[in-house]
């Protein structure tokens, strides 16, 4: 039974609207304390719909100041305002009609950063998912697509720039120093893709000629004075436009494409039609202020938002349960773009690391949900790594199962069949089935079943006949609301590595489908039998991480080492080293807890030294392979009764042992081959910097001397090297005079650069140990800290809670209590941000008993407040269920 006050939304309740909205004309008169919004909407009643049904429009925190039907004011008995809805009765049955709604809003008071808000002198909007209803009463749902015409009126001196979606059709001066601009977007769109920006910004401009030789004007708006940092984003945009034409045949459709960078933004960026709005940290970059990772993220996110023009905007979601239809697919397209722009295996390893660090824990904790959920209380809380990254993996698996050419055929059909539509995951899958004839009904379970599948593998080799039997069993753990799970269709790329390191190819396979190197695991238990293998191979399962699963496979250590050294698939090589390292680190943690001496497996130190010395490997890959799993990775591997202090000690011990064993190699790598060369952000140069910096951190560990890192800091000519040196100092030489000096220098050097100071906040927030809390509290009173800015909050409080396991989980629970207080305050200001921050504690039940109990007390304290936002209420209740 559903209670009356239950605001949960269920997929099964979906039905189309009673009225069809064709066009909307909006007029904004902008004022920071009072903005008026006029909305003129042309509707008609849908054929077949209930002919007496009222029109029910969504609203949120609006003041209604006018309401008219076909130009005549509506009498109070014709409408009601209930639970934020505007309900209008007795509307025409056959004739179209025009409804005019006037609302008043206060952009400067909007600290939620949803709807229309004004910060730093800029008006901007964020309407996904349900922000438009904070601007005007509307059919605020993705399946209502209308053509928009938008007039913006504002003071010309403070807002010389007036932008909205589509094409500029009129612009003129008005009285009293005001001016107006009128925009028209010919493409019907849902309200979540609406955008408006007004203010005074700098701009860079470029152009792109599309494959059908149309010229598109490209404009990128940033804070005055920051134009010099916008070039890389512009360049990324042009590469993304070209790539989408070449790889997927997708051409841009308007004459202008604009990006605006704002400094107060809840998320990364937003794909509003023709007018993307970005968190400025994902636009601004130059060598002195941005790291190589920043450059990589900018390239990826600029491309991601651009790719949405087809996957999301031209074809959108029928309802928010289908969110992964646009997000999963767009992340997959973004990943493929990055792989083509950079080194494919390096990009793939980074994706695997991200998935394991973020999506797997989500999928195994209290917030687990399917890629396509069936219910939600607050849709904002479903912009998750499951919907995004697991959704992307699901599209990747479709490509693996069908092959790239067939995947493209299916996607072509999708664009052709559904252009202009608002569709479902089923519609998407059907295109691949229809284009290729392959039945994906079993595969579709990936969208509906939550939890990370676990595969247990065992193998037997019969030397006499050269036969290998590989038995695979799969199961998926229970998740909230889904107790029983069915076996999935899992595509597993599998290699056989012979004793000399070469790939072996079996002469035949039985027990299941194998195409190319893909095994199709479809049953709960399945034994594949491979004939014609003249020697016992090391079995490399899940090459390229072809399926987002966990694999339990008791490979002999020499097989792991063989894979690490010889696999032709670099992702599998990385994974083998990573497994070797995790095995060692987990054993070291156990020893640490029982007070034994900490063992360090020479197989690990030898393999890592071998990597460090191998000149044939590309530097970026070497850097990844040499990076030990993080303390959080080790915790996840241990899984329960986690003691973060033991992990911290164990990891440092193993790191020091690796540093000593590879000392010679690391010394060689730490001297730069091209330190004085002019900076280039390309992937190859970035790889060299990454390798040099990881070598430097090992050297610092081996020598126990802060001097080389301080020298590297002083010498640095780019942010990658500077922050790498600062991190080594802060994390490995906390409290040293060199560290203090470098931290002060950085604070001073970037005093007027809030985005750059975020790295300074994060570096310090993630210093391990019991002093972290006090350090974070002190930093909160730094003048550069601003509780109203989501980037600052994430850089300091977010980083502390999510990336400082020993500091945040101090055994006395003081940090939990600090965090709970912060959450309660922050919730009043910005619920979207706060609910996301809260998820940092979602895995608290995996901690050892004392910490777990202390964490629980604080979580329950938060839950006991009866005035929480719906966002926070949803998260905390699910965490405590
Ligand atoms: N669609 C955007 C993500 C996004 C979602 C919600 C936002 O505000 C609450 C903002 C952005 C993307 O995938 O990039
Ligand atoms: Zn997206």
User: Judging by beta carbons within 10 Å of its beta carbon (0-12, 13-18, 19+), is residue 726 exposed, middle or buried?
Assistant: buried
Q: For ligand 1, atom 3, name the residue with the nearest CA.
A: 270
Separation of alpha carbons 785 and 758, rounded Å: 9
Ligand 1 contact, 271 CB (< 6 A): yes
Percentage of residues in the chain having pLDDT higher than 90? 98
Instruction: Report whether pLDDT(701) > 70.
Output: yes
Q: In the structure, what pLDDT confidence band is assigned to residue 673 with cuts at 50, 70 and 90? A: low
Both tokens of residue 76? Answer: 């109070």
Whether ligand 1 lies within 6 angstroms of the CB of 833 is answered as no
User: Of 751, 785, 786, 755, whose CA–CA distance to 223 is shortest?
Assistant: 755
Q: Using a 6 Å cutoff on CB, does residue 270 contact ligand 1? A: yes
Q: Which atom of ligand 1 is nearest to the CA of 312?
A: 1
Contact 529, 482 (CB under 8 A): no
- Closest ligand relative to 328 C-alpha: 2
Quote the CA–CA distance of 676 and 717 in Å, as a whole number. 9
d(CA 282, CA 268): 7
The CA–CA distances, whole Å, from 377 to 13, 500, 554 equal 14, 56, 42
What pLDDT does 1 receive? 56
Q: How many Å is the Cα radius of gyration of the chain?
A: 28
If one residue of 383, 832, 870 were mutated to test the ligand 1 pocket, choosing by the most ligand atoms within 8 A of its CB, it would be 383
- Supply the residue whose CA is at minimum distance from atom 2 of ligand 1: 270
Transcribe 739-784 into DSSP letters.
HHHHHHHHHHHTTT-HHHHHHHHHHHHT--STTHHHHHHHHHTSTT
Q: Could you tell me the distance, in angstroms and rounded to a whole number, from the CA of residue 326 to the centre of ligand 2?
A: 7
The Cα–Cα gap between 310 and 241 comes to 11
ipTM: 0.99
pLDDT, residue 408, reads: 98
Mean pLDDT of the chain: 97
Tell me how far the alpha carbon of residue 445 lies from the centroid of ligand 2, in angstroms. 23
Kindly report, residue by residue over 552-587, the tens digit of the pLDDT. 999 999 999 999 999 999 999 999 999 999 999 999
Q: Is the pLDDT of residue 677 over 80?
A: no
At 191, list the tokens. 């309200």
The string of pLDDT tens digits covering residues 294-323 is 999 999 999 999 999 999 999 999 999 999
Q: Per residue in 781-810, pLDDT tens?
A: 999 999 999 999 999 999 999 999 999 999
- Over residues 690-699, the pLDDT tens digits come to 999 999 999 9
Residues with a known catalytic role: 305
Which residue is closest in CA terms to ligand 1's atom 6? Answer: 128
Sign of CA dihedral 671, 673, 679, 683: negative
Indicate if ligand 1 lies below 6 Å from the C-beta of 39. Answer: no
Atom 11 in ligand 1: residue holding the nearest Cα: 270
Q: Which of 269, 297, 790 to mutate to test the pocket of ligand 1 (most atoms within 8 A of CB)?
A: 269
Let me know the angle formed at the C-alpha of 545 by 542 and 547, rounded to the nearest 5 degrees.
Answer: 80
Extract the tokens encoding 762: 């994060």
Confidence category of residue 196, pLDDT binned at 50, 70, 90:
very high
**Do 79 and 89 meet the contact criterion of CB atoms below 8 Å apart?**
yes
């Amino acid at each position: 039974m559903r209670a009356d006050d239950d605001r949960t939304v269920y997929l099964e309740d979906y039905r189309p609207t009673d009225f069809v909205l064709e066009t909307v004309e909006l007029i904004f008169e902008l004022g920071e304390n009072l903005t008026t919004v006029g909305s003129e909407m042309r509707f008609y009643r849908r054929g077949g719909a209930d002919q007496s049904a009222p029109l029910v429009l969504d609203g949120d925190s609006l003041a209604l100041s006018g309401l008219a039907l076909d130009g005549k004011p509506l009498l109070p008995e014709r409408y009601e305002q209930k639970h934020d809805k505007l309900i209008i009765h007795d509307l025409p049955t056959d004739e179209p009609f025009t409804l005019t709604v006037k609302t008043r809003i206060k952009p400067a008071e909007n600290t939620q950063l949803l709807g229309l808000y004004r910060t730093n002198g800029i008006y901007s909007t964020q309407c996904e998912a349900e922000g438009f209803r904070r601007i005007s009463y509307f059919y605020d749902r993705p399946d209502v697509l209308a053509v928009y015409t938008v007039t913006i009126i504002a003071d010309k001196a403070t807002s010389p720039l007036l932008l909205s979606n589509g094409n500029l059709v009129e612009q003129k001066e008005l009285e009293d120093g005001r001016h107006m601009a009128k925009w028209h977007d010919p493409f019907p769109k849902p309200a979540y893709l609406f955008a408006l920006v007004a203010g005074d910004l700098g701009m860079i401009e470029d152009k792109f000629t599309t494959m059908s030789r149309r010229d598109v004007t490209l404009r990128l708006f940033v804070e005055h004075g920051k134009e010099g940092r916008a070039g890389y984003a512009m360049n990324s945009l042009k590469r993304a436009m070209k790539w989408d034409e070449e790889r997927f045949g997708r051409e841009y459709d308007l004459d202008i494409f604009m990006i605006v960078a704002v400094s107060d933004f809840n998320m990364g960026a937003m794909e509003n039609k023709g007018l993307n709005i970005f968190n400025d940290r994902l636009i601004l970059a130059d060598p002195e202020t941005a790291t190589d990772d920043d450059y990589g993220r900018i390239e990826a996110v600029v491309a991601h938002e651009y790719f949405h023009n087809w996957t999301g905007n031209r074809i959108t979601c029928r309802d928010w349960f289908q969110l992964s239809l646009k997000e999963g697919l767009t992340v997959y397209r973004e990943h493929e773009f990055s792989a083509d722009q950079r080194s494919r295996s390096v990009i793939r390893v980074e994706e695997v690391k991200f998935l394991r660090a973020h999506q797997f824990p989500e999928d195994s904790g209290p917030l687990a949900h399917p890629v396509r959920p069936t219910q939600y209380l607050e849709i904002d809380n479903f912009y998750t790594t499951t919907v995004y990254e697991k959704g992307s993996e699901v599209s990747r698996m479709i490509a693996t199962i069908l092959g790239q050419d067939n995947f493209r055929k299916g996607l072509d059909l999708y664009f052709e069949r559904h252009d202009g539509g608002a569709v479902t995951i089923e519609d998407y899958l059907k295109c691949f089935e229809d284009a290729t004839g392959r039945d994906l009904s079993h595969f579709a379970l990936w969208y509906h079943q939550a939890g990370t599948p676990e595969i247990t593998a065992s193998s037997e080799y019969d030397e006499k006949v050269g036969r290998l039997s590989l038995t695979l069993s799969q199961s998926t753990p229970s998740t909230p609301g889904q107790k029983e799970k069915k076996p999935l269709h899992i595509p597993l790329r599998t290699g056989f590595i012979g004793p000399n390191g070469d790939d072996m190819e079996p002469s035949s396979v039985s027990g299941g489908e194998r195409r190319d190197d893909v095994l199709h695991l479809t049953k709960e238990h399945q034994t594949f039998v491979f004939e014609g293998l003249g020697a016992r191979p090391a079995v490399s399962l899940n090459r390229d991480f072809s399926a987002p699963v966990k694999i339990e496979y008791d490979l002999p250590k020499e097989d792991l080492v063989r894979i690490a050294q010889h696999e032709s698939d670099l992702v599998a090589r990385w994974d083998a080293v990573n497994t070797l390292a995790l095995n060692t680190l987990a054993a070291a943690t156990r020893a640490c807890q029982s007070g034994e001496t900490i063992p360090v497996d020479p197989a690990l130190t030898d393999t890592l030294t071998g990597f460090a010395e191998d000149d044939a490997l590309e530097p970026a890959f070497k850097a990844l392979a040499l990076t030990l799993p993080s303390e959080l990775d080790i915790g996840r591997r241990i899984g329960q009764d986690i003691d973060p202090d033991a992990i911290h000690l164990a990891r440092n011990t193993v790191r020091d042992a690796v540093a000593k064993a590879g000392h010679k190699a690391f010394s060689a790598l730490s001297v730069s081959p091209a330190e004085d060369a002019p900076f280039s952000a390309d992937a190859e140069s970035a790889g060299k910097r990454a390798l040099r910096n990881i070598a430097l951190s090992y050297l610092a560990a081996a020598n126990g001397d802060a001097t080389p890192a301080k020298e590297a800091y002083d010498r640095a000519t780019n942010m990658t090297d500077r922050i790498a040196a600062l991190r080594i100092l802060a994390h490995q030489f906390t409290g040293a005079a060199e560290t203090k000096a470098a931290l002060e220098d950085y604070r001073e050097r970037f005093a007027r650069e809030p985005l750059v100071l975020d790295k300074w906040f994060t570096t310090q927030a993630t210093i391990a140990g019991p002093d972290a809390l006090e350090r974070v509290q002190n930093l909160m009173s730094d003048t550069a800290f601003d509780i109203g800015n989501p980037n600052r909050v994430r850089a300091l409080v977010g980083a502390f809670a999510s990336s400082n396991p020993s500091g945040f989980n101090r055994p006395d629970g003081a940090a939990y209590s600090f965090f709970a207080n912060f959450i309660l305050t922050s919730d009043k200001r910005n619920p979207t941000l706060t609910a996301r921050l809260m998820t940092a504690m979602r895995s608290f039940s995996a901690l050892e008993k004392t910490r777990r109990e202390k964490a629980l007390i604080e979580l329950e304290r938060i839950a006991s407040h009866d005035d929480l936002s719906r966002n926070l209420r949803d998260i905390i209740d699910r965490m405590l269920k």
